[in-house]
Amino acid sequence: RGTASDTALTGYHDDSMTSGSGSGLPLLIQRTLAKQISLAECIGKGRYGEVWRGIWHGENVAVKIFFSREEASWTRETEIYSTVLLRHENILGYIGSDMTSHNSCTQLWLVTHYHAHGSLYDYLNLVTLSHAAMLTLAISAMNGIVHLHTEIFGTQGKPAIAHRDIKSKNILVKSNGTCAIADFGLAVTHTQSTGLTQIAPNTRVGTKRYMSPELLDETLDTKCFEALRRVDMYAVGLVLWELGRRVISNGIVEEYQPPFYDRVGSDPSFEEMRKIVCIDQQRPVLPNRWASDPILNGMGKVMRECWHQNANARLPALRVKKTLIKLATSSNMENIIY
Ligand code: ADP
Ligand code: MG
Ligand code: MG
């Protein structure tokens, strides 16, 4: 279908060039990337824009096309993917960004590796899981989050990064059954030496269903980067719950449901979420059958320690990852991949 070959491309070598639409971002981006890609099929649509499967040098790639009003999100995501040392098996692989003009309309492209299974949300709707498959997904996702959250020191170091929109739709499933964290449009970085948190973290961002109590009651200390990691860990707890439900044990499995499916409708308001999460302090129910399954029982304990009302009591990502690895090894699954 559509190709980008008819698009005018903005300058790569001209340092004075900016996007022209307000960001002031120097275009240190590959000027020919979009030209080389032909779009094959639309695989996602939203308020932000669209995601397409495209072909680049004979290989599948994913092309996220942002509406021009979403330029800030494109800029942010491009910046985050350009962070030194971000490359990791469990972080969506970045190919490049491009800004092109199509019939005098700005098009913002972000090109990444393509994963045919789509998001964890799509995947869990389709399949049920063995214990090993679930732990592979969970441990690999935690691997990605640990890498994000951890600052690496040194001249070629990596800042700590808080994702701020962790949910099953923002985690992709790779063909080997492991996860890659995606969608960095809201991410913020932090460097300890400068104490600097890049981008003033406006509080009311993210997906309402996955918002932590401190976001919902607006008590989050936005100056504290650690607080943002804890917001991510709350959402991690909910994603682990989505995973646990799809594990078959003794022939039983729960259908896929998003967190709080039994308390709110499909598009809950901030107020609705605040009522159930902060005031009533409700959390997803752990199905009875989990208690008699050592792995699901252990997972349930981890979830509770992730979605704790008190953010300071939540487990850090590395602790969750280690606990899940322990669950795997204690059930003789030490050779699962993640
Ligand atoms: P948004 O910021 O609009 O939420 P995402 O980056 O989360 O955009 O992408 C939206 C959806 O598109 C994802 O939930 C997933 O279903 C699909 N998608 C995104 N990137 C890829 C990819 N690299 N491979 C396969 N599917 C993808
Ligand atoms: Mg998303
Ligand atoms: Mg997004």
Residue carrying the six token digits 């800042």 = 159
Give the C-alpha separation, 145 to 311, whole Å: 17
Q: Phi/psi zone of residue 32: left (φ > 0), alpha (ψ -120 to 50 degrees), beta?
A: alpha
pLDDT value for 103: 78
Give the Å distances, CA to CA, from 100 to 46, 59, 104, 312, 324. Answer: 20, 21, 9, 45, 44
- Protein residue closest via CA to atom 22 of ligand 1: 114
pLDDT range class, residue 334, cuts 50, 70, 90: confident
Q: Residue 203: pLDDT above 80?
A: no
Q: Which of 30-34, 114-118, 205-209, 305-309 has the lowest mean pLDDT?
A: 30-34
309 by Cβ neighbours in 10 Å (0-12 / 13-18 / 19+) ranks as middle
Closest atom of ligand 1 to CA, residue 49 = 3
Give the C-alpha separation, 87 to 151, whole Å: 14
In this structure, the number of other CB atoms found within 10 A of the CB of residue 44 comes to 16
Mean pLDDT of the chain: 89
In this structure, the number of other CB atoms found within 10 A of the CB of residue 159 comes to 24
Q: Give the distance (Å) from ligand 3 centre to CA of residue 28.
A: 22
Counting ligand 1 atoms within 8 A of each CB, the residue from 41, 52, 56, 64 with the most, and so the one to mutate, is: 64
pTM: predicted TM-score of the whole model, two decimal places: 0.91
pLDDT range class, residue 46, cuts 50, 70, 90: confident
What mean pLDDT is predicted for residues 86-100?
95
Give the C-alpha separation, 259 to 146, whole Å: 23
pLDDT value for 59: 97
pLDDT value for 20: 40
Write the ipTM: 0.99
Q: Phi/psi zone of residue 85: left (φ > 0), alpha (ψ -120 to 50 degrees), beta?
A: left
pLDDT value for 168: 98
Selected catalytic residue, list 165, 183, 232, 293: 165
* Residue, of 106 and 55, whose pLDDT is higher: 55
Give the Å distances, CA to CA, from 206 to 91, 209, 210, 260, 270. Answer: 19, 9, 8, 16, 11
- Residues 197 and 156 sit within 8 Å (Cβ to Cβ): no
Q: Is 119 in the pocket of ligand 1 (CB under 6 A)?
A: yes
pLDDT tens column, 235-258: 999 999 999 999 999 999 999 999
What mean pLDDT is predicted for residues 66-78?
93
> For 44-58, what is the HEC assignment?
EECCCEEEEEEEECC
Q: Is 221 a catalytic residue?
A: no
**Helices vs. strands in the chain: H and E counts, helices first:** 8, 11
What mean pLDDT is predicted for residues 173-182?
98
What mean pLDDT is predicted for residues 64-90?
94
**Residues pairing with 162 in the sheet:** 188
